A and B are shown apart, each in its own frame.
Chain A
Amino acid sequence: MRLSFENINKGLVIKLDGELDHHTAEEIRDEIDREIEHYGAKNIIFDLSGMNFMDSSGIGVIIGRYKKVSKMGGEVAVVNINSRVERIFKMSGLFNIVKRFESKTQAVDSL
């Protein structure tokens, strides 16, 4: 799993490339939290265009980051979600707390 970060206007875009399971979730969780703190990010946007596998461990990662930013009044969004990952999001009710946009610029402007 590769991570890349882009800071746009108080919004942190986190691009996840690879497979998100329990093993990779453990690897990326702390790094994401460090970057959120480093940038003082209010909102975070997950760009999932390069994520080719996710199981329920990914749900935990998203909920964990939601809890972190929502405490400070921030929001979580996703862009470029594929149909597989979308199914898992729907199954777990993640779209009740995570907004979904067509592009990262649209997400940054709307949050």
Chain B
Amino acid sequence: MSIQNHMRLEFLSKSQNEAFARVVVASFAAQLDPTIEELADVKTAVSEAVTNAIIHGYEDKIGNVIIECSIQDNKIEIMIIDHGKGIDDVEEARQPLYTSKPELERSGMGFTVMETFMDEVEIQSLKDVGTKIRMVKRFESR
């Protein structure tokens, strides 16, 4: 099956861009006529993934966060990519309530939220190379 639409977005890993990123992805997803609830699921998952890239990927440094979205039939695939420090142990990071930064009042629920709101979540990470989160959402309303 061929991809029917695609977009790529690149921005600095500044926390102000978390709201920008989730609004852009939601606007792109809107062409699939999602329900308000489905769109909110996407916004929340994107917010979590971008926040991870900013806080954990780049920590105190500034780098680029890349988002690529593809639409195929009733589904959207969203990739969130950073070239930061990578996740040491992906399985550990996926556990509910796990956080590498408890001192920052991080709840450790980011990946749990992504997994709850999206149909598929895959994480690829390599130390000092970066992290790629791939998420898929199918819109049932179509």
Q: Which residues of A contact B (CB under 8 A)?
A: 19, 21-23, 25-26, 29, 53, 55-57, 59-61, 63-64, 84, 88, 91-92
Contacts and interface: CB of A to CB of B under 8 A. Distances in A.
B19 A55 contact: no
28 contacts: A19-B19, A21-B18, A21-B19, A22-B15, A22-B18, A22-B51, A23-B15, A25-B105, A53-B43, A55-B44, A55-B48, A55-B110, A55-B113, A56-B107, A56-B110, A59-B109, A60-B104, A60-B105, A60-B106, A60-B107, A61-B105, A63-B107, A84-B37, A88-B44, A88-B109, A91-B109, A91-B113, A92-B109
> Size band of the B side of the interface?
20 to 34
Contacts of B19: 19, 21, 23
Contacts of B106: 56-57, 60
B47 interface: yes
Interface of A is mostly: helix
Nearest to A59: B107
B40 interface: yes
Nearest to B117: A87
B43 A63 contact: no
Interface of B is mostly: helix
A92 B111 CA distance: 12
B105 A64 contact: yes
Contacts of A53: 40, 43-44, 47
Interface string B3-30: 0000000000001101100000000000
A92 B112 CA distance: 9
A92 B108 CA distance: 9
Contact of B107 (A23, A26, A92): A92
Nearest to B111: A56
A22 B55 contact: yes
Given A23-B16, A56-B106, A57-B106, 6 more contacts: A22-B15, A22-B47, A56-B107, A56-B113, A61-B105, A88-B44
